[in-house]
Amino acid sequence: MGVADRDWCREQPRPKESLAPKIILAVLAVAGLVLLVAHSRHHAVADPEHVVHHELSIGAGHGLGIPIKGAPLYARNDPWKKYLADDHTCPAAENVDVLVNVQASSMICLINFARQQRGLNPLPVSSKLTVAARLKGEAIARCRVFAHAPCGGDPHDVAVQAGYTVGSWGENILIADGPWAAPRPALDGWLNSPGHRENLFRPEWRVQSIYVVKLSSFPGFRSPTLWVSEFGDRP
């Protein structure tokens, strides 16, 4: 079991959202962030959950996992199961061996399906946010820190570099080993985390992007997959 930590900042807290750290069971690593970008000003709204879990183990931190067998891919009685598209709707959703561009397309499909189940509009892919998501993924891999600002600076710097400087911008990140890194289990992790779910289901979003990469190494993992999901309310 992992313990949540808080690697985010909040400038304008929402009164209904608790900031208390949580202890949760998961077989993934998640972190979520929403930023409102308006020229030089930004306001962060994020989820305090940041749980690291590794393939077939339960642990309290990097390298402290206790091996287990038969860990479920999804939680028992998962309340968000109906939001997960089947393979006919979104192919290759549980396949970590296909090309990353196929996995990315599957995740876009899965996110749009989940949003439509919620009565929200599907989101086309933004070229600017695609650059921003890639920059964030490359920064995490380069600095070997799983965080929204892995190399320092501000989390929204990648959006500014990509030319996405006005409007609202949101980001979810995830890193996981083995089958839990596939698109559908990854999305299920976000859906079961309040902050990430809020990012996914914000009605003002108009565009999205996905970056996914298989890392040869990362502290505490064998060969994990890294996901960066970004949203914006401008084309």
pLDDT of residue 115: 98
pLDDT of residue 72: 83
pLDDT of residue 70: 55
How many CA atoms lie less than 13 Å away from 147 in the CB half-sphere? 16
What percentage of residues in the chain have a pLDDT greater than 90?
Answer: 63
Integer Cα distance of 11 and 156 in angstroms = 14
Provide mean pLDDT across the span 196-223. 95
More confident residue, 15 or 84: 84
Average pLDDT, the chain: 77
Which helix H or strand E contains 196, and what residues bound it? helix 194-200
Does the pLDDT value for residue 6 go beyond 50? no
pLDDT of residue 52: 39
Integer Cα distance of 16 and 78 in angstroms = 24
What percentage of residues in the chain have a pLDDT greater than 70?
Answer: 70
Provide mean pLDDT across the span 114-138. 98
pLDDT of residue 29: 38
pLDDT of residue 176: 93
Q: In 3-state terms, the chain is what percent helix, strand and coil (to 5)?
A: 25, 25, 50
Using one digit for the tens of pLDDT, what is the confidence trace for 39-87?
Answer: 222 322 333 344 333 443 333 333 333 333 457 888 889 999 999 999 9
Q: Which of 15-19, 23-27, 37-41 has the lowest mean pLDDT?
A: 23-27
pLDDT of residue 159: 95
More confident residue, 53 or 207: 207
Residues near 186 by beta carbon (within 8 Å), at least 6 away in sequence: 28, 107, 174, 176, 180, 225, 227
pLDDT of residue 33: 64
